Amino acid sequence: MDDDLTALEITVNGKRRSATVDRRELLIEALRNRFGVTGPKIGCLTGDCGACTVRLDGLITKSCLRIAVAEDGAEIETLESMSTNGLTGLQESFWDNNAFQCGYCLSGMLFAAEDLLDHNPTPDEDEIRQAISGNLCRCTGYDAIVTAIKRYAERVAESDRRQ
């Protein structure tokens, strides 16, 4: 119904975009259906699994817990923007350590890991587990993800020490 439709303008991965969205639409739905951004996935729509995690105005958030029209004017980054200049060191570490199997949780896990390292560049294993505990993974049993984050952080710390 036309009453349900409204204009939304947001910045997605550095590009100003606009679309007509349904007022009922969640941010994740708008990103996927209106803007063709499929990096974030839908796993639960209740904020439990974290597969839909994106960066919104610099902070990571579960995009299924936000109504699209409420985010008018927001700047959003998704998995699509992470490797603009080639894979990041963190991404390489995920790949090297087999930190994703089916890949469905990958986008959310990478954002959770990035966020952790932004705040704590040298996390221990418990801190890493805590940081990714808002995100569910059914394939890996988490160990490979923890290893990927830990090894990457250690490598960065090592190269910082050398400089």
Partner 1 sequence: MEVGLRTAGKSVGRPVRKHDGDAYLTANATYTGDIVLPGTVYAALVRAPLAHALIRSVSTAAAEGATGVIAVVTGEDMIPWCDEIPHGLDAGHLGGHHSAVFPLAVEKVVYAGEPIAAVVATSEADAHAACLMVEVDYEPLPVLLDVESALAADAPILYPAWAENVLIEGHVGNDDFAEVARTAPHVLEGELRTHRGTAAPMEPRTYLADWDAGRQHLTLYASTQNPHVLRTVLAAAMRLREDQIHVVAPKVGGSFGLKMYGSREDFIAPVLARMVGRPVSWVEERAASLLPAAREQVLSYRVAFDDDGGLLALDVEALTDHGAAAPTHGWAMAYVGALSTGLGYAIEHCHVHYRVVVTNKAPWSGTKPFGKDGATLLLERIMERVAAATGVDAGTVRRRNFVAPSAFPYRHTSGLELDSGDYAAALDQTLEILSHERLRADQARLRAQGRYLGIGLGFELMPESADIPGGFVAAYDTSTVRMSPSGRVSVLTGVTSPGTGSDTGICQLVADELGVALDTVSVVQGDTDTCPYGFGNISSRSLVTGGNAAVLAARDVADKIRAAARALLRADYDEPVLIEDGIARLTRDPSRSVSVVEAARAVYTRSYELELDVEPHLESTRTYRPSNIREVPDALGRMQTYTTYPYAVHASVVEVDVETGVVTLLRHVATHDCGTVVNPLMVDGQVTGGVVMGLGAAFSEELVFDDDGIPLTTGFKTYLLPRAVDVPRVELGHLCTPAPGTPLGAKGVGEAGFAGALAAAFNAVNDAVAPLGARLDRTPLSPIAIMRALREARR
Q: For partner 1, which is the closer residue by CB, 75 or 92?
A: 92
Rounded distance between C-alpha atoms, residue 58 and residue 92, angstroms: 22
Number of residues that bind partner 1 (CB under 8 A): 59
Tell me: does residue 78 bind partner 1 (CB under 8 A): yes
**CB 11, CB 35: distance < 8 Å:** no
Residues 57-76 that bind partner 1 (CB under 8 A): none
Interacting residue with partner 1 among 6, 19, 22, 156 (CB under 8 A) = 22
Q: Per CB under 8 A, which region of 30-38, 69-77, 113-121, 155-163 contacts partner 1?
A: 30-38
Q: For partner 1, which is the closer residue by CB, 33 or 163?
A: 33
At which residue do the structure tokens 């990035």 appear?
114
Q: Per CB under 8 A, which region of 19-27, 54-62, 65-73, 155-163 contacts partner 1?
A: 19-27
Tell me: does residue 151 bind partner 1 (CB under 8 A): no
At which residue do the structure tokens 């959003």 appear?
76
**CB 51, CB 117: distance < 8 Å:** no
For residue 158, give every residue at least 6 positions away whose Cβ sits within 8 Å of its Cβ, in sequence order, or none: none
For residue 111, give every residue at least 6 positions away whose Cβ sits within 8 Å of its Cβ, in sequence order, or none: 53, 54, 55, 60, 79
Other Cβ atoms less than 10 A from the Cβ of 59: the count is 8
Which positions touch partner 1 (CB under 8 A)?
A: 1, 4, 22, 24-25, 29, 32, 36-39, 41-46, 48-49, 51, 78-80, 82-83, 87, 91, 94-98, 100-107, 110, 125-126, 128-130, 132-133, 136-146
